Amino acid sequence: MKAVRVHQYQQDPSLDDIAEPKLQGPLDVIVKIGGAGVCRTDLHIINGDWEQIQDPTLPYVIGHENAGWVAEVGDAVTNVAVGDTVILHPQPSCGLCLACRAGRDMQCTGDAFFPGLSNNDGGMAEYLRTTARACVKLDPSTNPADVAALADAGITAYHAVRKAVPYLYPGTTAVVQGAGGLGHIGIQSLAALTATKIIVVDKNPAALELAKSIGADETVRADGDHVQAVQDLTGGGATVVFDFVAEQGAEMDAWAMTGPAGYCFVLGYGGQFSAPTLDFVAGEKNVIGNIVGTYNDLAELMVLAQAGKVTLHTVQYRLDQALDALHDLDAGKVRGRAILVP
């Protein structure tokens, strides 16, 4: 099969011919990929930023936002069958540890793996090996390419919004910094789950236009005066700020836009956060980190997606155009999410 593989960090991956994955256990599932999302994390992986954390053996296949059709199942699989349309939680988990039993799949301490990040091939290929615990069955009419990126970008944004719901009652304000692949899902999730006023900050006029069309009440151009503009709109700072950028100074902008007793949810990464302890004490401000969401988050998000309340805005590329997709993402040319279709 064809697959996009990283051979050396800080170099472009290549499209290789490799063997198709095989079942390795009774709960394994082989999925024919119908769509694979292209994520900024893939750029960080190629750069080597995840090497010390995951330490995969090179070369390996990237791609951790995947959906498709079940092609083969292990002997113990009962929740999906060959031919089913599925979207895949990015981290197959053990189901037995305390984290899994509490529903925190992404914090599994058992036999978990992360295709596309850990030492397991990902989904920028024609086929992928996952497990039964990662499969969310979809309506057969669903096109996997239309929803694939909800498997990571979608549930990461939804997970943060879901945690913030108790704080976002009527009369509150929420700021979304960065209306890209994750941010545009965050905006729609806020509109679907809360009655808060949604303010979106981005430097790209096209991203702000998209934000207006999917639920933003106000938009602010990130032009150097945006922090003051948000403070003016919110009367001194937002109830909750969702920082989907968190690098190149944006992480401190998000903190400055967070109001007294407010919550700064950090979803992007790459920057450095530093604030005086007095800000925490006198302002009672909170910083909350966010990793990819749970299996339940993904199942809930798919209900919203199939009801038309959350729509993934995508640009499709063929699998052999993977480098174009990665370069376009790096250059900020992708509105919404780039999707590879084998």
86 within 8 A of 69, measured Cβ to Cβ: yes
Query: What CATH fold (topology level) applies to the domain 2-152+292-340?
Result: Quinone Oxidoreductase; Chain A, domain 1 (3.90.180)
> What does the domain layout of the chain look like in residue ranges?
2-152+292-340, 156-289
Lowest mean pLDDT: which of 9-13, 100-104, 329-333? 329-333
- Quote the percentage of the chain above a pLDDT of 70: 100
Residue 239: the pLDDT is 98
To 10 degrees, what angle do helices 250-257 and 226-234 make?
Answer: 20
Residue 153: the pLDDT is 87
Residue 273: the pLDDT is 92
Q: What are phi and psi of 257, to 5 degrees?
A: -85, -5
Average pLDDT over all residues of the chain? 94
**Mean pLDDT, range 53-67, rounded to an integer:** 91
Residue 118: the pLDDT is 86
**Mean pLDDT, range 11-35, rounded to an integer:** 97
Output the six-digit token pair for 306.
């199939």
Is the domain spanning 156-289 CATH 3.40.50.720? The answer is yes
Sorting pLDDT into bands at 50, 70 and 90, what band is 67? very high
Sorting pLDDT into bands at 50, 70 and 90, what band is 26? very high
**Mean pLDDT, range 277-295, rounded to an integer:** 92
Residue 269: the pLDDT is 87
Q: What are phi and psi of 175, to 5 degrees?
A: -110, 130
The span from the CA of 223 to the CA of 253, in Å, is 12
Neighbours of 268 (CB within 10 A): 23
The span from the CA of 126 to the CA of 165, in Å, is 38
Residue 204 clears pLDDT 80, i.e. is over it: yes
Neighbours of 128 (CB within 10 A): 30
pTM above 0.95, yes or no: no
Residue 219: the pLDDT is 98
Residue 77 clears pLDDT 90, i.e. is over it: yes
**Mean pLDDT, range 38-64, rounded to an integer:** 89
**Mean pLDDT, range 292-321, rounded to an integer:** 92
DSSP 125: B
pLDDT digits (tens, 9 = 90+) for 105-151: 889 999 899 999 888 999 999 999 999 999 999 999 999 999 999 99
**Mean pLDDT, range 75-85, rounded to an integer:** 97
pLDDT digits (tens, 9 = 90+) for 162-192: 999 999 999 999 999 999 889 999 999 999 9
**Mean pLDDT, range 246-271, rounded to an integer:** 94
**Mean pLDDT, range 328-335, rounded to an integer:** 87
82 within 8 A of 73, measured Cβ to Cβ: yes
**Mean pLDDT, range 63-73, rounded to an integer:** 97
pLDDT digits (tens, 9 = 90+) for 48-58: 988 877 788 99
188 within 8 A of 165, measured Cβ to Cβ: no
Residue 325 clears pLDDT 90, i.e. is over it: yes
Residue 262 clears pLDDT 90, i.e. is over it: yes
